[in-house]
Structure 1
Amino acid sequence: MRVFLLEDDDAISMGLKYSLEKEGYEVTNAESVMQAKKLWQRDCFDICILDINLPDGNGYDVCKFIKEKEDVPVIFLTASDAEVNVVMGLEMGADDYICKPFRINELMARIRTVLRRAGKRDVDVSAGDTTVEKLGNISIYKSEAKVTMRNEETGDETNVELTALEYRLLLTFCNNKNVVLSRNQLLQDMWDVGGDFVNDNTLTVYIKRLRDKIEQDPSNPQIIRTVRGMGYIVDG
């Protein structure tokens, strides 16, 4: 699934590209209206994420240009949720909008929704068990961003309510089974577009909160295990 990203802020564009590629999307990034139009003249994409305020124009112009060529889903990034901005974007043919600052998980959910409405197959939507990861009695349904815990005695599953950063931390462990992750590696992976600053002390808090929610005995964790002097590991 190919994503066209138009964003002139380097920090945001790099973070978004990194997060989208981790979810399996192929991302092409442009930083200006001129560059965006040149890319569209020689390539095609499945969905567009467009910033509104750009150095040589605005995302509305690019949206109009794209819609004249092809009916591709568009999500606007806007620094303001003022009604005039929202209405103008929707009248231009946009399918959705999201206000800065935003959570990565929220954007991912909106992308999946827009792709489903457009009849396009999302990277996370597949048959079988490939969208479900198992960690002990924990099940992670990636296509729904949902986590459940199975009761060992009854076999019943209950939802585990995680914050966006807790969920991202769990996914990081899930995607690196049998690999010892250092605290520095975990900190680098917990970048957040919403502006949440995660330092070493905050990471300790998040790991504790996550263990409290998914471990049978948080004082003796069996899912997220500590490797002394090195970091943490989750067994495959």
Structure 2
Amino acid sequence: MNAAPADQIRLLDLQALDTRLGQLAHKRRSLPEHAEIASLEADLTQHRDLLVAAQTEESDTAREQTKAEQDVDQVRQRAARDQQRLDTGVGMSAKDLENLQREVASLAKRQGDLEDVVLEVMERRESAQERVTELTGRVGSVQAKVDDAVARRDAALAEIDAEAASVTKEREIVAASVPADLLKLYDRLREKQGGIGAARLNQRRCEGCRLELDITELNEVRAAAPDQVVRCENCSRILVRTNESGL
């Protein structure tokens, strides 16, 4: 393939732009905020799960407290009715009064036991409420950190994308000035050779593979016409000759 030396040198400008686009893409993928957000979101999920568990426990103990208080109230009402009957004693035999006294005493003990249950449930509910309050604060704190990291990531991405858009436009201009067949070869080699399709021959060394040409390869390049597109024997990339090639 033949191409004017100026068109071949223009490939170096194109390669520099493509290299910068590759660097920007890598920078975009490897922003430290990505890992920071992933870690914070994992913490946030864990804290939210703990919060849901605490809220569930608080809700369960609230229902349990209501039930226990209802049990106490039922026993208290029954005891009050029995005590009223005992106080009046109308139409009751001595044996009935004795039985009623025993029932009142039994209900008093039952009421005491149930009130102890209410106190125990209230303590557990209070503990659950404190846990809910604590975890709510933690979730809010971690969420704030996530929001901050997301804002920093988005700002960094916007900056990268703006530069990438600018470089892409510049690349389009440069690529339009390169002959179609040369551009096609360059793009094919760039895709095959890890993003580098053209490399400068600098002081007898290919800047693509970083290897120095041996004497036979160097003589072949020297003998090539200025408009001949030469390739590196080691990496197959287009070798662009300049005044610094050492030929």
- TM-score bracket, normalised by the shorter chain, equals under 0.3
Q: Which has the higher strand share?
A: 1
Give the number of the structure whose alpha-carbon radius of gyration is greater: 2
Greater relative contact order (Cα 8 A, min sep 6): structure 1 or 2? 2
What TM-score, normalized to structure 1? 0.24
